[in-house]
Amino acid sequence: MLCCLAAVFICPCLRAGVPSAGIYNSFKGIGVTAQFNGASVKDMHIAHLFGDFYGVPTGRAREVGIKFNYTRAYVFSEIPSEECIFKFYAGPGASLGYVRDYEHGYYENLSLHLKNNPGGMTSLSGTAGCIVDFSKKIFINLSWTAELGIHVRRNATTGKTELNWYKNGIFQALYPQLSIMIEF
């Protein structure tokens, strides 16, 4: 289902300009990324599909979540240099996934296992970043994304479904995201 919803966001982008694809790396997780130029030189469509690592590196969880993020970005400044062009951008977007969410005490006691089950999340997002374009079909994208959304999960103790704010969307907003992409 996640792939189908991701296709809904990506399909309009496929008819857009030159596509680029690459790897996505962050403290949030690892995955793939794609970028398509929009109708004008100043707008882009950026999509990330990655494994969400919350709780896994510290051994508090065993399962990796999955998350998709789409951003419609607008370049607001370009700074050319001899070897590359720096493009600064920002824009709105949306995220969808099946992930774990923040739990109180996570950073204080790493010996505790996460109590809550993973669940579905959806959010509106805002992304800002910088693309370093080497004009040789290779570029680097450094960005930050904040998400405001909801997280739905089944409580393991009571069996009831819970609806909460997606706290990791705000807490992980300062985690940098680095993508290395190749233009096709």
Cα(145)–Cα(129) distance, integer angstroms: 9
Helices (DSSP H) in the chain: which residue ranges? 2-14, 168-171
Closest CA to 138 of 16, 13, 21, 10: 21
Give me the pLDDT at residue 175, please.
94
Contact 134, 28 (CB under 8 A): no
Task: Write out pLDDT tens, residues 43-96.
Answer: 999 999 999 998 888 777 788 999 999 999 999 999 999 889 999 999 999 999
Cα(60)–Cα(42) distance, integer angstroms: 42
> Is 168 or 128 the better-scoring residue by pLDDT?
128
Give me the pLDDT at residue 104, please.
61
Cα(110)–Cα(167) distance, integer angstroms: 19
Indicate the pLDDT class of residue 166, thresholds 50, 70 and 90: very high
Tell me the pTM: 0.83
* Amino acid making up residue 94: A
Domain of 133, CATH number, reads: 2.40.160.20
What is the domain count for the chain?
1
- Residue 8's CB is within 10 A of a number of other CB atoms, namely 9
For residue 100, the enclosing domain spans: 2-183
> Is 110 or 114 the better-scoring residue by pLDDT?
114
Cα(61)–Cα(129) distance, integer angstroms: 30
> Is 70 or 111 the better-scoring residue by pLDDT?
70
Give me the pLDDT at residue 33, please.
96
